[in-house]
Structure 1
Amino acid sequence: MNDREFVLTLSCPDGRGIVAAVANLLAAHGCTITESQQFGDPYTGRFFLRTQFEAEAGEGSAPVGEDRLREAFAEMAAGLPAPAGGGDPTVEWRLWNRTRRPRMLVMVSKFGHCLNDLLYRGRSGLLEADIAAVVSNHPDLGFLADSYGVDFHHLPLSPETKGEQEQRVLELVDAYDVDLVVLARYMQVLSEELCTKMSGRIINIHHSFLPSFKGARPYHQAHARGVKLVGATAHYVTADLDEGPIIEQEVARVDHTHSPEQLTALGRDLESVALARAVNWHAQRRVLLNGSKTVVFR
């Protein structure tokens, strides 16, 4: 990967000629498309695009024409036609240099399986984001972060200190230049204020493919009901508890021979896999919000 590789994402009202406009703009600026995906949603009337491309080599270390590219994309976006029939007129586009790896703040409580998986993937080069720090409302997993050389912040939490604790989290987001907050089985509900400030930048992993099993010991509840599927859902966090736009889900079949403990162990594996996929897809700029759901260009 070099500093001439970029990713463009675009969300706008659907219409003719959008792909051609992007391709022609890139060609006119000496860029080569290496990967491109697009989707037009007939139900929302929105168009989504992710294009990966390489810019011309130039003198010095900066990619040639990056500022010019941004200006060109802004001009193109401003010239896109308004939606027919009074649909959503919003045009959103972003341009990223692929050498700029996203930085993550991982939040966790006492269950360490997702945190351990993310730390291992990060050290092994399997995670396309850098874990800047770990935050927990309990001290229990400090040793795990320390073993990977990652800063650990114990921020105790009570109903009286929730506002102060979340303000400290936001300070850490700024201090570590964090792009993404990952709730790796963080067993606390975030305030509406924090969800709004970090909208589209917090990913949570929710146990159980079946949302009816909420609260304590969900896999024991599942066992008591004789479920045939268990799984996990990774989603963006909103003020509506566990109802944010879904990024990824993983599921496994089970039967009457599985004990509650076996269901729990299997569920934790599924949680780790689903969360890691969601984080990587977000880090690769493959996830675009489409109202209450997502478009994921895998």
Structure 2
Amino acid sequence: EHFADLHNIRKLVFSNNYLTEVSVDLFHDLTDLRHLNVSYNLLTKVPIGFLDLPNLIDVDLSHNKLEMIEFGLFSGLRNLKSLKLDSNQLTELPLAIFDNLTALVNLNVAGNNLKQLPSSILANLKLLTDIDLSMNNFPNGGILNGIFKNNKELLRITITNNKEPLESLPDDIFHNIKNLYTIYLNDNKLVRIPENLLAGVPLLNEINFSGNKIREIPENLLNGCHWLSILSFSDNEIANLPNEIFKFSNKLKVLDLSRNQLKVVNT
């Protein structure tokens, strides 16, 4: 009833309140709504139909207590560009939960308790440019090979501060994302870097490996990264640098190797 006559509203912000539930038809009269923010509340679930607002372009459900997302919740949001689900208590996501979000550009699911993502969960997000998977519970091997294979427009991938030791990543997890510009992999307890991890990302500008447990850098790791400008390996366990590790890195402007175990550095 509160919103029945507010047909012109385009932006609605309910953040930082004490909402514990929302009715399925709460906003159904707001047919022109573009931006919806219900972050920083106490929601444990969102009913299917709550987001039946086809003109929405961004939805912020972050910083609630969501334990699950029901399949179909986002099915009518074909114009949605930004979806924030970070800082909830999600342990899994339904296989096809994002399939209808074909316009989505930004997806944030950081700060949950996710243990695995289905390998095809991002398959329909062909316009996605920015994804954050940080601060989840992915076990070693929990981030599957091919997870980004259809996301050719990605510019930034953030996978940091995983709660379980990741140890390593699939060899070709980033392959052929030709526009990829930034990768953050810090604070994951990574031990091993696949030698071909960065093959096929020729425009990469920045990558952060800091705060891991890396002991060796593969000699050919950076061979295809001719535009790399910022590189951090700080706070690892690196004792030696391969002689020609920076052979093709003549665009490098910032190099951070602080707090490692280096004793000798060759010219």
The two structures have a TM-score, normalised by structure 1, of 0.22
The two structures have a TM-score, normalised by structure 2, of 0.24
More helix by share: 1
More strand by share: 1
